């Protein structure tokens, strides 16, 4: 049951009715709804149950025995990461959907308890719901336990404001996925299926198209997930903030998959020492963090290489300090995006021979016409001129705050766009494989 299928929204409608009618058992209803979603989506239950048992009781014992909390935390982290490695990276094992997301969410809970930032929950039902919350379980965002438990304590309010804002996020997410990402896939997939059949121009255009496809696919899912949660009465931070307007590699990771980059910062980079132990140690910590980010995406060598590549970019950005002026800022945007899209080739192509071929064609462009250059330059110029307005404007929230008559008009346009401009075939979200 994918969030881009009709079945998902029939399921959500029935759940909303149940929550509105049976107000005294909302947590239990949400848990039953999440369980139904997991079963109908053919999730593997065993790894999730292992994570729940290890971290729920682990958090309790960490709090109860503070003198032994370090060794207890080490055992919990080892247990969760071991099951994650077995199910995700062992050849021949079936990858359970959402395992990377709920494993990191559960680890964040235990670490927050260890640090004294969160009291362990006494409700097993609430904890199971947190780790299996259906809007985010498949592909995130990675929500924090303190944000979730703070909101589940109060009765859920299915208000007109939440409904309008949530449905706005959902429809924008569907447009991003179905209208933009899936149509781009029709161009991208045949080229990368056998890239050696194509020359430089096609490889470069397919790489640019893949970077846009990946953003709209994953960003679309994140908007649908956050919109679904908002309709149910939950409000969580956005997971993307116009990443392709980033001015440097660090700014990119402040804007791309924010929940994962913040998790890695708070639970890996800072505990390793962050930037507090000298320049050399800082670069090592950046590399370890980004290599872990690559491994989080998958066990294939290209993901590890992609993570290391971003570790190098972040280290170089920290090493090379340029004066702050408008010209260098604009140049920084162009250079950053060139490097980001170059990295997407490594992310996309796992075959070593194909990757070598694609990288060579990307680095030495050939076959472009004057029309290509004129169109490309115009697009870049317009985006740079509009950067401030686009990058710093929360336009999705503005649409969700329209007066009802204008919002219904938006909704009508959005539904027609989704219906008429989407490919017939329903496809999985790219990040559901991670």
Which pTM does this prediction carry? 0.94
Query: What's residue 399's pLDDT?
Result: 87
Query: What's residue 48's pLDDT?
Result: 86
pLDDT at 291 over 70: yes
Q: What is the mean pLDDT of residues 355-373?
A: 93
Query: What's residue 425's pLDDT?
Result: 75
Question: Residues 141-158, buried b or exposed e (16+ Cβ, 10 A)?
Answer: bbbbbeebbebbeeebeb
Query: What's residue 47's pLDDT?
Result: 83
pLDDT confidence band for 324 (50 / 70 / 90): confident
Q: Tell me which long-range contacts 263-267 makes (C-beta under 8 A, separation of at least 24).
A: 263/104, 263/108, 263/142, 264/289, 264/292, 264/293, 265/289, 266/108, 267/107, 267/108, 267/111
Q: Where are the domains of the chain?
A: 6-159, 161-391
- Percent of the chain with pLDDT strictly greater than 70: 97
For 61, the enclosing helix (H) or strand (E) is: helix 45-64
Contact 124, 28 (CB under 8 A): no
d(CA 339, CA 380): 15
Q: What is the mean pLDDT of residues 52-71?
A: 95
Query: What's residue 334's pLDDT?
Result: 92
Neighbours of 426 (CB within 10 A): 13
Angle subtended by helix axes 160-174 and 200-231, to nearest 10: 160
Query: What's residue 91's pLDDT?
Result: 66
Burial class (CB in 10 A: 0-12, 13-18, 19+), 295: middle
pLDDT confidence band for 93 (50 / 70 / 90): low
Classify 225 as helix, strand or coil: helix
Does 398 qualify as catalytic in the annotation? no
Encode pLDDT of 162-186 as tens digits. Answer: 999 999 999 999 999 999 999 999 9
pLDDT at 347 over 90: yes
Ranges of beta strands (E only) in 256-342 are none
Q: What is the mean pLDDT of residues 215-229?
A: 95
Contact 433, 138 (CB under 8 A): no
Question: Residues 324-347, buried b or exposed e (16+ Cβ, 10 A)?
Answer: eeeeeeeebbeebbebbbbbbbbb
What are the distances in angstroms from CA 190 to CA 85, 202, 334?
Answer: 32, 11, 28
Query: What's residue 189's pLDDT?
Result: 94
pLDDT confidence band for 22 (50 / 70 / 90): confident
Encode pLDDT of 366-416 as tens digits. Answer: 999 999 999 999 998 888 888 877 776 678 888 888 898 999 999 999 999
Which residue among 254, 297, 317, 398 is the active-site one? 297
Top-confidence residue, 98 or 119: 119
pLDDT at 322 over 80: no
Would you give the DSSP letter of residue 256? S
Query: What's residue 40's pLDDT?
Result: 81
Query: What's residue 42's pLDDT?
Result: 65
pLDDT confidence band for 43 (50 / 70 / 90): low
The mean predicted confidence, pLDDT, of the chain is 91
Neighbours of 208 (CB within 10 A): 17
């Amino acid at each position: 049951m994918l969030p881009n299928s009709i079945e998902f929204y029939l399921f959500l409608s029935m759940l909303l009715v149940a929550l509105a009618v049976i107000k005294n058992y909302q947590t239990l209803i949400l848990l039953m709804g999440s369980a139904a979603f997991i079963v109908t989506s053919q999730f593997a239950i065993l790894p999730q149950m292992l994570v729940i048992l290890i971290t729920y009781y682990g958090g309790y014992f960490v709090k109860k025995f503070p003198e032994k909390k370090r060794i207890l935390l080490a055992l919990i982290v080892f247990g969760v990461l071991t099951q994650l490695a077995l199910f995700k990276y062992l050849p021949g094992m079936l990858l359970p959907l959402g395992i990377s997301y709920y494993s990191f969410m559960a680890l964040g809970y235990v670490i927050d308890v260890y640090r004294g930032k969160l009291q362990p929950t006494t409700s097993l039902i609430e904890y199971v719901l947190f780790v299996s919350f259906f809007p985010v379980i498949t592909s995130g965002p990675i929500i924090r336990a303190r944000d979730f438990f703070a909101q589940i304590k109060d009765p859920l309010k299915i208000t007109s404001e939440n409904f309008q804002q949530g449905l706005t996020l959902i429809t924008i997410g569907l447009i991003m996925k179905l209208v933009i990402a899936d149509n781009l896939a029709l161009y991208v997939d045949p080229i990368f299926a056998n890239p050696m059949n194509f020359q430089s121009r096609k490889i470069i255009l397919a790489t640019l198209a893949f970077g846009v496809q990946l953003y709209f696919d994953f960003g679309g899912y994140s908007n649908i997930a956050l919109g679904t949660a908002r309709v149910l009465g939950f409000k969580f931070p956005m997971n993307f903030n116009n990443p392709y307007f980033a001015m440097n590699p660090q700014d990119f990771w402040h804007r791309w998959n924010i929940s994962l980059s913040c998790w890695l910062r708070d639970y890996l980079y800072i505990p390793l020492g962050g930037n507090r132990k000298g320049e050399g140690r800082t670069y090592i910590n950046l590399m370890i963090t980004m290599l872990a980010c690559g491994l989080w995406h998958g066990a294939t060598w290209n993901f590890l290489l992609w993570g290391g590549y971003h570790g190098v970019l972040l280290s170089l950005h920290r090493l090379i300090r340029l004066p702050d002026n408008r010209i260098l800022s604009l140049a920084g945007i162009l250079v950053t995006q060139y490097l980001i899209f170059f990295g997407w080739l490594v992310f996309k192509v796992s075959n070593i021979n194909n990757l070598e071929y694609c990288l060579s064609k990307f680095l030495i462009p050939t076959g472009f016409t004057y029309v290509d250059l004129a169109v490309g330059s115009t697009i870049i110029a317009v985006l740079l001129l509009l950067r401030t307005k686009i990058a710093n404007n929360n336009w999705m929230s503005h649409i969700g705050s329209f007066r009802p008559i204008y919002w219904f008009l938006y909704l009508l346009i959005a539904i027609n766009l989704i219906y008429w401009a989407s490919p017939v075939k329903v496809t999985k979200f790219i990040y559901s494989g991670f």
